Amino acid sequence: MSGNPRVLIVDDHPINRRLPARVLRAKGWECEEAENGEEALAKLSAARFDAVLLDIGLPDISGYEVCLRIRANPALKCVWVVAYTALASSEVAPLASGFNGLLIKPITPDQLFDALKGVQKQYAAGCEAP
């Protein structure tokens, strides 16, 4: 991974995008936001991202479906995808659906950075973004 890590924050509620973006930017991350699944997939096709914080309950297509589409795209194999949800009952399903991690809202900065630690590990292990 060269340069600052880039994350796409996908949530239909603006505050749920802005708060993690503010925390991440303060630590040097580059952040973009998307308010639904289709917008997220379009942004992922147009630019390189190292990670995605992905709400499960999106208004158009579910975060599960977005994650499945990310995992089906070989060009996105190195993207670290974290389920970002308020649904505590979703603890097991996201990891079985191809997500790399789980954040249950509300989150703390420490939880956010813990969930994204795998980004650096993945690249250290030899994964290169397209």
In the chain the domains, ranked by start, together with CATH numbers, are 6-124 (3.40.50.2300)
CA–CA gap between residue 49 and residue 46 (Å, rounded)? 10
Q: Is 82 helix (H, G, I), strand (E, B) or coil?
A: strand
pLDDT at residue 125 tops 70: no
pLDDT tens per residue, range 109-124: 999 999 999 887 776 6
What pTM was computed for the model?
Answer: 0.91
Q: Which of 77, 6, 59, 17 is nearest to 67 (CA)?
A: 77
pLDDT band at 130 (very low <50, low <70, confident <90, very high): very low
The mean pLDDT value for 18-30 works out to 97
Please indicate whether residue 11 or residue 130 has the higher confidence score (pLDDT): 11
Q: Does residue 106 have a cis bond before it (omega within 30 degrees)?
A: yes
- Residue percentage of the chain with pLDDT more than 90: 72
pLDDT tens per residue, range 67-98: 999 999 999 989 999 999 887 664 556 677 89
pLDDT tens per residue, range 37-52: 999 999 999 999 999 9
Q: Which of 8, 5, 18 is nearest to 82 (CA)?
A: 8
CA–CA gap between residue 98 and residue 58 (Å, rounded)? 17
Residues 6+ apart with CB under 8 A from 107: 20, 84
CA–CA gap between residue 57 and residue 85 (Å, rounded)? 7
